[in-house]
């Protein structure tokens, strides 16, 4: 969509013009580094789009959008440390390029910097943005901890998994949109509707990511297909297969996810075969459709022009039909 590309370009230009450099250089250079690595910038774009959809100049939302992006990248630095990941977007991760302590400190500084960006706004707006941000940041940490806990648990329920992805991924999407509505001085009801739209879209987005990790095209997905399977992650696909599959399917899946087999191709292909037999692939697609529809139902209730609603809907549809 050309409209989205326009917002991406505007935000990227604003980011380039923002100076994160100060002393000590060893603390701030990693911040500048990760923010220049690129990415789709979907969350800040949503902040800008939401403000524009209420017919307010997007430049008023730039600082809030940057706060969202700074926080998101702070979480990526710490995620990479916890995962011992060597690469991020094809480049060295911060803790690999510098060291572990620098990664932790630079990440912490980014969290504080995100709060400082809200100081650009009048007191009442600052208060609402900071209140939302504090709630969201804590939920993201809770979601991350749930994800870590699930790695060592033998049983995880569907509801627990959905709560985890809501907190780890979806609440920041919802908050990004609500911030745009707050800056635009939209009604409290419309602010909350924007949040619900973004949150439901965020859940659908993560479920789509789970699906593509298993059944995506390796040439377009951008990362190893079957990565979640090799890491024994209990995704929606796995949990639905356990819930719906026969005792034999459940037993085979459990054994596969307990094994540390070096025959990775066989493990992935066998797991995918079991997912299809248990129809968890179809169940996941159904869940993606459910949360996408929930998002669009909320969108219809927001007080904005039909053309602006259509723009947000098109954005959502593009996310849900992606193959990367």
**pTM for this prediction:** 0.93
- Residues 72 and 64: their CA atoms lie apart, in Å, by 12
Triad 182, 52, 173: Cα angle to 5°: 60
As a whole number of angstroms, the distance between CA 228 and CA 233 comes to 5
Domain 141-324 top-level CATH class = mainly alpha
- Residue 40 is predicted with a pLDDT of 86
Its CATH architecture, for the domain 1-127, is: Orthogonal Bundle (1.10)
Burial letters 220-236, b for 16+ CB under 10 A, else e: ebeeebbebbeeebbbb
Please list, in sequence order, all residues whose beta carbon lies within 8 angstroms of the beta carbon of residue 209, skipping any fewer than 6 positions away.
none
Peptide bond into 24 cis (omega under 30): yes
pLDDT per residue, tens digit, the chain (324 aa), is 677 889 999 999 999 999 888 899 999 999 999 999 988 899 999 999 999 999 999 999 999 999 999 999 999 999 999 989 898 888 999 999 999 999 999 999 999 999 999 999 999 999 999 999 999 999 999 999 999 999 888 899 999 999 999 999 999 999 999 999 999 999 999 999 999 999 999 999 999 999 999 998 776 655 667 889 998 899 999 999 999 999 999 999 999 998 876 678 899 999 999 999 999 999 999 999 999 999 999 999 999 999 999 999 999 988 877 665
Confirm if 79 and 56 have CB atoms less than 8 A apart: no
**Residue 214 Cα distances to 146, 206, 259, angstroms:** 22, 13, 18
Instruction: Report how far Cα 192 is from the mean position of its chain's Cα atoms.
Output: 19
3-class SS shares of the chain: helix, strand, coil, % to 5: 80, 0, 20
Domains 1-127 and 141-324 share a fold: yes
Beta-strand ranges (E) seen in the chain are 87-88, 91-92
Q: Where are the domains of the chain?
A: 1-127, 141-324
Residue 287 exposure: Cα atoms within 13 Å on the Cβ side: 25
Angstrom distance (rounded) from CA 201 to CA 293: 9
The two structure tokens encoding residue 221 = 């997905």
Residue 227, pLDDT score:
87
Identify the pLDDT of residue 121. Answer: 98
Contacts 24+ apart (CB under 8 A), 189-193: 190/54, 190/302, 190/303, 190/304, 193/298, 193/299, 193/301, 193/302
pLDDT (0 to 100) of residue 225: 77
């Amino acid at each position: 969509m050309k409209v989205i590309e326009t917002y991406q370009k505007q935000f990227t230009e604003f980011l380039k013009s923002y100076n994160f450099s100060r002393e000590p250089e060893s603390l701030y250079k990693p911040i500048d580094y990760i923010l220049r690595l690129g990415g789709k910038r979907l969350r800040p774009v949503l902040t800008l789009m939401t403000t524009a959809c209420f017919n307010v100049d997007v430049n008023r939302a730039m600082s809030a959008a940057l706060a969202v992006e700074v926080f998101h990248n702070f979480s990526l630095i710490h995620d990479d440390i916890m995962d011992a990941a060597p690469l991020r977007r094809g480049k060295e991760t911060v803790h690999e390029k510098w060291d572990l302590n620098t990664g932790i400190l630079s990440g912490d500084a980014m969290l504080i910097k995100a709060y400082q960006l809200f100081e650009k706004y009048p007191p009442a707006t600052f208060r609402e943005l900071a209140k939302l941000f504090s709630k969201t940041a804590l939920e993201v940490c809770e979601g991350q901890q749930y994800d870590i806990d699930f790695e060592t648990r033998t049983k995880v329920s569907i509801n627990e998994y959905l709560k985890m992805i809501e907190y780890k991924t979806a609440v920041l999407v919802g908050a990004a949109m609500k911030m745009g509505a707050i800056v635009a001085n939209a009604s409290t009801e419309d602010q909350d509707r924007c949040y619900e739209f973004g949150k439901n879209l965020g859940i659908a987005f993560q479920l789509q990511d789970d699906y593509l990790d298993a059944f995506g095209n390796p040439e377009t997905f951008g990362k190893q297909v079957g990565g979640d399977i090799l890491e024994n992650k209990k995704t929606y696909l796995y949990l639905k297969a356990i819930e719906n599959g026969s005792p034999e399917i459940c037993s085979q899946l459990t054994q596969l996810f307990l094994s540390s087999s070096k025959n990775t191709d066989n493990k992935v292909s066998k797991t995918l075969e079991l997912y299809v037999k248990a129809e968890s692939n179809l169940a996941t697609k159904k869940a993606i459709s459910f949360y996408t529809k929930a998002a669009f139902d909320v969108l219809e209730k927001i007080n904005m022009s039909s053309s602006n609603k259509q723009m947000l809907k098109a954005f959502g549809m593009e996310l849900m039909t992606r193959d990367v």
